[in-house]
Structure 1
Amino acid sequence: MIKNYIKSALRNLKRNYVFTGINTLGLSIALAASFIIILFVINELSYNNCHKNRKSVYRVLNYYNTFDRTLTGTPFVLASTLKEEFPQVEHAINTKSIQEFTILHKGENIVVNDAVSSSSEIFDIFTLPLINGTNTKTLLDDKNSICISRSLASKLFSRTDAIGKEITASINKEEHVLTVTAVFEDIPQNSTFRAECLINKSFTITYVNKLFETTNAETNWDHNSWHTWLRLIPGSNPSLIDSQFTMLERKHMGENPLFHYSLQNLSDVYLGSEKVMNNSIQGNWNSIKIFSAIALLIVLVAMINYIILSTAVSSGRSKEIGIRKTFGAKNNQIKYQLLTESIVLTIIVLPLAIAFMILGLPYAEELFQTNLPVIGANIIVYILFYFILTVLIGIISGLYTSVGLSKLTILNVLKGQNMTGKKKNFVRSALIIFQLVIFCFFVACALVIRGQYQYSLEKNPGFHNKNTLLIDIKNSENYTPFLNETQANTNVIMASGAYSGLPTYSFGAMMIPHHQDQEKKVEVEGMMIDFNFLQTMGIPLVDGRYFSTDYGSDVKNSCILNETAVKALGIKDPIGKKIGEQTIIGVVNDFYLHSFRSDIPPLKIQLTEKYLRQIAVYYKEGSAKDLIPQLEKSWKKIAPEQAFFYTTVEEIIEDMYSSEKSRFNTVTIFAFFTMLIASFGLFGLTLFIAQSRTKEIGIKKVLGCSDTIIIFSFLRMNILYVVIASVISIPITFYAMTEWLSDYSIRTEIHWWIFALSFLIAGIVVTATVFIHSYRVTRLDPVKSLRYE
């Protein structure tokens, strides 16, 4: 029976080749787009699945009570303490990334970006399969041991047989000779834990001691510089450990501890860390929801096309169904036959859709601004999802038509009462309008997102956002000589340094007592700068003065506030007032320290001599082409071993709003696909309607009806559809975009012309699509039209 259904389905698809061709093209585009999105979603949801013990592995999070913020940093001593005092903890480790790790190989310095310090127990926490190596229990016990990835081993030794080989490495500017004890498989891309090599944990203890000028980093509960990972004994209750943390904190940090610890399962690290600061690799549930919704809408448009075209050609199927019923066919047999036809069509489309997906992947990666790898471990999941989605589309698309046609009786067929009439036309009209609503929604959303993106780029943030370079200074010893060279350049108007230039992603805050109520604490962000930095960035004074070399006390005993800080702290006549040991010498105009997504924070600015990591260069307009090579030459003269790296303020701002640009591109592309697929349906529908009205059009032409009136008869209903769809899309778009814009402290407006433009675009596309075929119909010879059967 199934074999006959398939044969019959293939014959009917061949017979109705226009219907088949239009649906094949529309479905293949829709499936290709949805397949790319499914690839993205599956990859996002599969993070950390590569670690076999993920359900029992937890990261310790650190809630900073004073600032109401959750951090990933924890003290080094926490891991060993938890293992000693918590019987549920089977393994506990510290991990910390090495900031500066290079390997000297054949006279070249190879920079290793993902170098991690830890202990041998890391192999009990994360799944790191060994290619070559000894017992994992002792791999990192020796201070000079190192475990490297397959890729790094191939780069250094041209093979994975690297055990026992020595590596000369610079670790935080200190040279060490390390011995390879193991080579592990490259960690999959869908892992939040990344490492090209693993070294002994003692290196980071030495580094933190030197950084904070202490000797007790190994036992200090205040230095939150490490990540703590636990593996619990099977069957342990993690919530019980969470409740025990309070006693541990009081025992080791006093009755009023600054921090509160909690556990986060490894499976939740990627998609459950939106409110966790300093989390390097993380996803976003909103992106998954948005892209999934877009995929669903595109698939819906393709399914609607199938239904619309199926109802259009249903009149030609009624006689066939009547004959089959005359020979004894039952309703269910007719229904299954038509469903099989729909499923067969989608399965035929499947290879074409996959081919389109493969061709479109490079463009999709650029669009989403992320890699979309085909991960080997997910292959079966991809195939299942793609096949299930394809069959599901076939079933849903064919269900409406198959149920309607299978209910036709022989008597109704003989009377000509097939699937026509007001009910059929109403359903068809509603489906067309639904397609157009989706398109108008996409277009209007794209316009709003683009408007916010442009507004963010053009809005004055309160400092120089043009003609300004930011140059990285990795070694503080190079700061002063390079700054002097830069200031001497004739193309430079002014230059100065800071810990981080503007705008910045970095965050550092402190709690300062309110001036009127000492019991009340105000969170104030800190900014560390050099002399003349505020002038270089063009930040104007409101009151007082800038930092000056004429005042020796400015280095340690002076600070400048922004207007928001003065208001938040309740300070009247701030100049000369004290904040702790520092005197307020000036108040600057408010400026956006971060992006426009957040409000301007209360800000305390102070001088620093030690933490100057960037130099801001304000240069003469149009001189960048000459200036940059000159600065690079100066840099190589001062620091020949370090690469010259710079960026512009414009580039940083563009990067800050890259997600808006990505969303605009994404929504625009999918709006195009939506209208393209819908246009195929409208074109096919116009074709079938024109065929059914051939005699009518011939008679009208014989009676003197003009071509314009005939074309208008095709267009007027479709224009009405556009009007209705545009009106329906307005409140939906307005609500969605108002919600989206609420994340910005300053935002663009949703102008009326956005909806007018979306209506105009939809109207032009629909009119052009319908006009093409309706015009061809008017050119037919009336005599041939009257003879048409």
Structure 2
Amino acid sequence: MSSLQNIAMIKNYLITSLRNLRRNWNFTVINITGLTLGLSCCLLIFFTVRFELNFDKHHSDGERIYRFLNRNKQQGEKGYNVGAPLPVLAALRNDFPEIKNNVTCTYSSKEALVTTGIGEKRKKFIDPMNSVSFIDPEYFNIFTYKWLKGSPTTSLANPGSVVLSINQAKKYFGDEDPIGKMIRVSNKMDFVVTGIIDNPPATTSFPFTVMLSFSSLKEYGANTNWDDWQSTYGGGQVYMKLPESITQKQMENQLSNFAKKYRDAKAVAENDWILQPLDDIHFSPYTQNYAGRTISKGMIWSMILVGSFILITACVNFVNLATAQALRRAREVGVRKVLGSTRGQLLRQYFSETGIITLLSVILALIIAQIALPYVSQILNVKSQGVIFITDPIIMGFLLMLSVLTTILSGFYPALIVSGYQPILALKGKVGKAGNQQSNLRRGLIVLQFTISQVILIGTIIAYSQMKYFRTIDLGFMRDEIVNMQVPEQKDGKLENLKTKLQEISGVKSISFSAFTPMSRSNWQTGFTYENNKEMLDFEIVMRPADTSYINTYGLTLLAGRNYLPADTMREYVVNEAFVKKLGFKNPQDAIGKRLTIGGSDVKLPIVGVVKNFNTYSLHREIIPCVLTTFRKNYGTLGIKMAANATPQKLAQIEKAWTETFPDFMFKYTYFDQTLNSFYEKEQQLFSLFRILTGIAIFIGCLGLYGVVAFMAESRTKEMGIRKAIGASALNIFGLFSGDFIKLVIIALLLASPIAWYTMNDWLKDYTYRIQISWWIFALAGVMAVVIALITISFQSAKAALMNPVKALRSE
């Protein structure tokens, strides 16, 4: 066959396909709409999954980089502590010379005030948590950065030096050359800019943009203890890059002996030091990172499956409608075969129709995905450029694969069935057996669609219930009407002066200075000795240094004893119920008077009170032993309990009092309840995504259902006329149509329920505090599915039920 004949044949296929699609425009619109939505969802999910899977991939030798972790053997996978005792760094460099230049400690700060210039040119900036960190030169032997100015070996070698990202340098100094310029951090210490690096990518777990020399940490005055092997701070983490000759397992075996050298026997028995691969940091649900975002690989697979399911439901629509139209096109097939068309030619004809629909759907999907991308990026906190580049070979490859897969899934079976009709039977209209088989297939595919939709719907309802549980569970403290702000310094008289000014503001009920709020991302864990024991007990405690107003301000409940007395240092302790239980006491009162030695201290101090348990970590973790005590130099957080009817003007008065006390700093506040909600930002984001996907899946399923019902109503016109002629009421006809499909929806619910229960029950295992999956969730999903199906088919069913039987019979 010549090339001209091939071109003519292709042209003929296209013209015929376009005519068929135009003739059945209603079904064409339904197919294009369903496929467009399915493909756009797949494209957005692909874009999101690609973003998540690229985290920390830009570091060369990333497969040999590890984070040093402490694991509590009793708590298992939920007992990880990312903070490392500060003496670990020097000990690792001394005991393992093979990694001496490839082990480092990063020590990040909370929100930090950075000032530049002097006098009238002085500018203030508040940089977010973990953007400012203390870094030593060895850090750059492990992690890959592009240097624009300065040197990775010398820029941070001396105290008082700082390396900035290019965006941070422009933020501070505009278009001026930043090298040699001075910045002041938290009004504590000056740093000279000695290097500029490229901006860290969005896919990094290390969002450091202000890198201070690690050798400045002591002078800066961070709350550190370089000889304490028990206390840890989550922002102080140790990383290492292993030589190719040493595996992770071999290094962990050596760390076992390393721990025995520096820790007491009980600590070694209860805890071990392990390594976490860099590739695992972004995907571990049990450890945090500096970027403050993780996602489990299970959730990524869930997103991929949901996207696949939505595409399948769209393809099912196509198959359903194509097989429904097969009987109508049987005579067309018979005529074509009589005139000499082969089965291969018919297959190509139907595939060309599918291909045209798919191509139009891909173009529309690309447009919709581009429009929706900024909103999806905002929902999922995905930092993107806001553009899906069709020139990106990976994007193009994915679109091509998706187009081919969709064409095959949607067109193969209908093309195979229609092209297989015998010409004589087709011309005589005797394809009833095949029609019955196709009818059963359509019913099965409708069940498949609604099974998928109801699995997603049930999962969304359960996720909503869990999110509501987060917002309403008793955490052991008050969360409403509390305003928090960071305290920049604790100089003599400053805190007292601020407190006096705040107490003069009407609407301020209580004021407390503390190191942390009751539930906080920043935590201080340490060991302790009890009574006359010289060895640390076999469990760690979390510290909550705070003044005497802490219990009242945050609404903690005192169960036994009294509050501790005012002091600047540790003098007395108040513990929680979990601590009392760990000591073996059944009655909180029995713990009163017992004496503890915290961390590396030699002073035994008494327990004077016991408070009701409250959550110190998020609800992913159980409540652990907690100790409250005074410790002024650690007070970095101010909590203000406001009256319920406090007006915004009160915040302006608070800002005035704060600014008068700390004129060199910037005022910034947060509401405590909003901070708590941010603990579950990841869950809220995914819930929002799945809520949208649920709506799309149901809508696509309803589109297909509407199309099938429309075809059935058209094809059963004569039957409906006869039924009405012999006395069937409109309600009988409506029930006849509706009943068949409601049965299919109920079957889908029965299939979806165990799948959804198993999937969501496994998801809930990540939470120590979780809801119980109740029967009403499945009942609600079933009722919603039935109502949605009834609404979908009601128009066509009512139309068939109300038709004039005379016209129906005459039309036949």
1: distance between equivalents of 2:460 and 2:74? 40
Q: Which amino acid aligns with 2:37?
A: I
Query: Is the deviation greater in 417-426 or in 627-636?
Result: 417-426
Structure 2 unaligned runs (5+)?
1-5, 598-603
Contact 1:499 1:612 in 2 (8 A): yes
- Assess, with a 3 A threshold, how the Cα gap between structure 1 residues 763 and 283 changes in structure 2: closer, same or farther: closer
Contact 1:497 1:529 in 2 (8 A): yes
* Count of equivalent residues: 778
Query: Is the deviation greater in 229-238 or in 395-404?
Result: 229-238
1:314 paired to 2:326: yes
Query: Is the deviation greater in 47-56 or in 430-439?
Result: 47-56
Counterpart selection for 1:400 from 403, 410, 413: 413
Query: Is the deviation greater in 332-341 or in 712-721?
Result: 332-341
Q: How does 1:703-742 map to 2 (within 5 A)?
A: 703=726, 705-742=728-765
Q: What is the aligned partner in structure 1 of residue 10 from structure 2?
A: 3
Contact 1:445 1:737 in 2 (8 A): yes
Please report how far the alpha carbon of residue 344 of structure 1 lies from its aligned counterpart in structure 2 after TM superposition. 3.2
Structure 1 unaligned runs (5+)?
none
1:324 paired to 2:336: yes
Q: What is the aligned partner in structure 1 of residue 307 from structure 2?
A: 295
- Assess, with a 3 A threshold, how the Cα gap between structure 1 residues 493 and 326 changes in structure 2: closer, same or farther: same
1:496-516: per-residue Cα shift (whole Å, max 9, x none)? 222112333333334456899
Task: State the TM-score, normalized to the length of structure 1.
Answer: 0.87
2: distance between equivalents of 1:455 and 1:222? 33
Please report how far the alpha carbon of residue 783 of structure 1 lies from its aligned counterpart in structure 2 after TM superposition. 5.1
1:464-484: per-residue Cα shift (whole Å, max 9, x none)? 233333332222234222122
2: distance between equivalents of 1:272 and 1:619? 38
1: distance between equivalents of 2:443 and 2:407? 21
2: distance between equivalents of 1:690 and 1:476? 79
2: distance between equivalents of 1:451 and 1:561? 32
Counterpart selection for 1:54 from 56, 62, 68: 62
Query: Is the deviation greater in 107-116 or in 275-284?
Result: 275-284
Please report how far the alpha carbon of residue 19 of structure 1 lies from its aligned counterpart in structure 2 after TM superposition. 1.8
1:32 paired to 2:69: no
Contact 2:373 2:387 in 1 (8 A): no
Q: What is the aligned partner in structure 2 of residue 671 from structure 1?
A: 694
2: distance between equivalents of 1:561 and 1:139? 46
1:104 paired to 2:119: no
Please report how far the alpha carbon of residue 267 of structure 1 lies from its aligned counterpart in structure 2 after TM superposition. 3.3
Contact 1:514 1:521 in 2 (8 A): no
Q: How does 1:209-608 map to 2 (within 5 A)?
A: 211-212=223-224, 227-231=237-241, 237-246=247-256, 262-272=274-284, 274-275=286-287, 280-373=292-385, 379-418=392-431, 420-477=434-491, 478-511=494-527, 521-549=538-566, 556-571=570-585, 573-580=590-597, 581-608=604-631
Superposition RMSD in Å: 3.7
Task: State the TM-score, normalized to the length of structure 2.
Answer: 0.85
Contact 1:250 1:256 in 2 (8 A): no
Please report how far the alpha carbon of residue 40 of structure 1 lies from its aligned counterpart in structure 2 after TM superposition. 0.9
- Assess, with a 3 A threshold, how the Cα gap between structure 1 residues 392 and 733 changes in structure 2: closer, same or farther: same
- Assess, with a 3 A threshold, how the Cα gap between structure 1 residues 54 and 85 changes in structure 2: closer, same or farther: same
Query: Is the deviation greater in 74-83 or in 40-49?
Result: 74-83
1: distance between equivalents of 2:109 and 2:623? 33
1: distance between equivalents of 2:231 and 2:681? 36
1: distance between equivalents of 2:650 and 2:71? 46
2: distance between equivalents of 1:349 and 1:253? 64
Over the matched positions of the two proteins, sequence identity in percent amounts to 24
SS of the aligned residue for 1:645 comes to coil
Query: Is the deviation greater in 108-117 or in 563-572?
Result: 108-117
Please report how far the alpha carbon of residue 308 of structure 1 lies from its aligned counterpart in structure 2 after TM superposition. 0.9
- Assess, with a 3 A threshold, how the Cα gap between structure 1 residues 9 and 129 changes in structure 2: closer, same or farther: farther
Q: How does 1:43-192 map to 2 (within 5 A)?
A: 43-61=51-69, 69-71=80-82, 73=84, 75=86, 78=89, 82=93, 85-87=96-98, 91-97=102-108, 100=112, 102-105=114-117, 106-113=121-128, 114-119=131-136, 122-131=139-148, 133=149, 137-141=153-157, 146-156=162-172, 158-159=174-175, 162=177, 165-171=179-185, 173-176=187-190, 178-181=192-195, 183-192=196-205
- Assess, with a 3 A threshold, how the Cα gap between structure 1 residues 368 and 203 changes in structure 2: closer, same or farther: same
1: distance between equivalents of 2:392 and 2:676? 38
2: distance between equivalents of 1:446 and 1:556? 48
Q: Which amino acid aligns with 2:45?
A: I
2: distance between equivalents of 1:762 and 1:65? 46
Query: Is the deviation greater in 699-708 or in 603-612?
Result: 699-708
Contact 1:98 1:171 in 2 (8 A): no
1: distance between equivalents of 2:540 and 2:191? 46
Contact 2:560 2:610 in 1 (8 A): yes
1:115-165: per-residue Cα shift (whole Å, max 9, x none)? 44445565554333344x366554444556554333234445554x837x4
Counterpart selection for 1:20 from 22, 28, 34: 28
Contact 2:191 2:212 in 1 (8 A): no
Please report how far the alpha carbon of residue 59 of structure 1 lies from its aligned counterpart in structure 2 after TM superposition. 4.2
Q: Which amino acid aligns with 1:37?
A: I
1: distance between equivalents of 2:409 and 2:578? 57
- Assess, with a 3 A threshold, how the Cα gap between structure 1 residues 528 and 98 changes in structure 2: closer, same or farther: closer
- Assess, with a 3 A threshold, how the Cα gap between structure 1 residues 141 and 751 changes in structure 2: closer, same or farther: closer
- Assess, with a 3 A threshold, how the Cα gap between structure 1 residues 284 and 629 changes in structure 2: closer, same or farther: same
Q: What is the aligned partner in structure 2 of residue 638 from structure 1?
A: 661
1:657-676: per-residue Cα shift (whole Å, max 9, x none)? 44444344333322211121
Q: What is the aligned partner in structure 1 of residue 674 from structure 2?
A: 651
- Assess, with a 3 A threshold, how the Cα gap between structure 1 residues 617 and 231 changes in structure 2: closer, same or farther: closer
Contact 2:69 2:80 in 1 (8 A): no
1:432-460: per-residue Cα shift (whole Å, max 9, x none)? 12222233333333333323322332333
1:339-379: per-residue Cα shift (whole Å, max 9, x none)? 34323321221110111112222332343344454589993
Counterpart selection for 1:614 from 630, 634, 637: 637
1:761 paired to 2:784: yes
Contact 1:116 1:197 in 2 (8 A): yes
Q: What is the aligned partner in structure 1 of residue 711 from structure 2?
A: 688
Contact 1:166 1:177 in 2 (8 A): no
1:361-413: per-residue Cα shift (whole Å, max 9, x none)? 23323433444545899933233223312321221122222232333223432
Please report how far the alpha carbon of residue 22 of structure 1 lies from its aligned counterpart in structure 2 after TM superposition. 0.5
2: distance between equivalents of 1:223 and 1:505? 13
